[in-house]
Structure 1
Amino acid sequence: MIPIKDVNPSRTFPIVNLSIIVACSLIWLYEWSLTDEVIYTFQGAVTKFELFLREWGLVPVELPQKPYTLLTHMFLHGSWGHIIGNMWFLWVFGDNVEDKLGKFRYIIFYILCGLGAALTQTFISLAFGGANVPMVGASGAISGVLGAYMKMFPHARVLALVPVFIFLTLMELPAVIFIGLWFFIQIINGIITLPFIGYGGVAWYAHIGGFITGYLLVDYFRKRSYS
């Protein structure tokens, strides 16, 4: 399912949300510039892009030596599809959450969701394999934003492209349905791919952990005047 827009006007300009999008986009452009630069090591040829992800992405087994990657991994991405998909979801849903929480609370909330996502995926990777696979992406933090959105705006309408058999159909769904289905898909994919977690791929458990973190924390971050 692909959200097109939500029918839920924001009352303030989402400067923090937009800043996160710009920061992630600029960092991705730098990453992309490294994809053609090859370095030869004892293990063979490797691109500077891969080395960059290895250094600043979250590698579970290396976390005690690189605790800073709990933060830096949230601003890295692995492909054009990865960055575009993440930033689009953040653009659609993040402005209303920022509006509801306030600027400062929103950035703290966003980071805490990313941390919750990272720790969930790290635990799963250490327990079931994948401890040496770098994790990058804002999707864990953004999943927390989705959890907050669903809790605060369950009846807001979301215009989305929804697969119906082999076709994509435009449908307007309540946020609780759209995001609820999205979360259900994350759980199913997490269960199905658990035996293959050591081969990399989508960090489904980061999505799950981030969503739950955001859903549970958002009430503590809401501005009192909006209660």
Structure 2
Amino acid sequence: MFIPLHDHNGLAHVTRPVVTWGLIAANAIVFFVYQQAGLSDVINASAYSFGLIPSVFFDLKDLTPELQVVPEGATIVTYAFLHGDFMHLAGNMLFLWVFGDNVEDAMGHVRFVIFYLACAAAGGLAYSLANFGSDVPLVGASGAVAGIVAAYLMLHPKVKIWILALGRLPLRLSAQWVLGAWVVYQVANALLSQTGNVAWSAHIGGLIAGALLIIPLRRRGVPLFDRGL
């Protein structure tokens, strides 16, 4: 749809977005070290050990002992630090890099950690409910990143963002148009798409969580919708 490149939006409350940087580093380390940069056997094993499997999460089935690395309930968060391939990782981390720092700035470091994990959990829960009984594991930070997109859109709809439209056309547009279109695209696919490898329901869960949580978790005095800009 589009590739975000840069937003003209400085930081007002934190000197450095260390949590955003740390999350990007953690995802990269897991992929390149633990998942061995996408080797098929390792990817499959990690997806079943740390990914979110609806049938296992709801205690309908059990994993074999060698795959039972963490409690089933923990996979509601651990799945968000795994990725299926390099492009999956790169896409999620690019969105996190461009939009995460301003959401972290609006909340502070500790609240941003809580926010990120809660959005990941909401995305995982939405996927599990939409695919109740499925044995297909969910991996990827998309649910958490969708929450960041929703929060950013509620905080800074008027900020200009540089994007590559259709992967090649550079444009500078307001966030309300760019991210608003992205949200509509996610909802449309969640309603209409019946096949494919994208967990649209996880994106919707993350979007809803992000839109709701930004209201109580933002710093006192931080306005919504660029009021006063």
Q: Normalising by the residue count of structure 1, what TM-score does the alignment of the two structures yield?
A: 0.86
Of 104, 110, 124, the residue aligned with 2:110 is: 104
Q: Deviations for 1:61-115, whole angstroms, at most 9, x for unmatched residues?
A: 0004511100100111110000011001000000000001011111001111111
The 5 A counterparts of 1:161-172 are: 161-163=164-166, 168-172=168-172
CA distance in 1 between counterparts of 2:78 and 2:212 reads 23
Runs of 4+ in 1 over 6 A off after TM superposition: none
- The equivalences for 1:1-227 within 5 A come to 1-11=2-12, 12=14, 13-33=16-36, 36=39, 47-65=41-59, 66-126=72-132, 131-163=134-166, 168-194=168-194, 196=195, 201-227=197-223
Q: CA deviation at 1:173?
A: 1.0
Unaligned runs of 5+ in 1: 38-46
Percent identity over paired residues: 36
Q: Secondary structure at the match of 1:151?
A: helix
Q: Structure 1 or 2: larger strand share?
A: 1
TM-score normalised over the length of structure 2 = 0.86
Indicate conservation of the 8 Å contact 1:70/1:115, yes or no: yes
Q: Return the offset for 1:34.
A: 7.4
The 3 A distance-change label for structure 1 pair 7 and 117 is same
In structure 2, relative to structure 1, the CA distance for the partners of 1:124 and 1:7 (3 Å cut) is same
For residues 10-69 of structure 1, the C-alpha deviation after alignment (integer angstroms, 9 at most, x for no partner) is 2321001100000000000124427558xxxxxxxxx23311211100001000451110
What is the total number of aligned residue pairs between the two structures?
208
Unaligned runs of 5+ in 2: 60-71, 224-229
Q: 1:36 to 1:220 in 2, by over 3 A?
A: closer
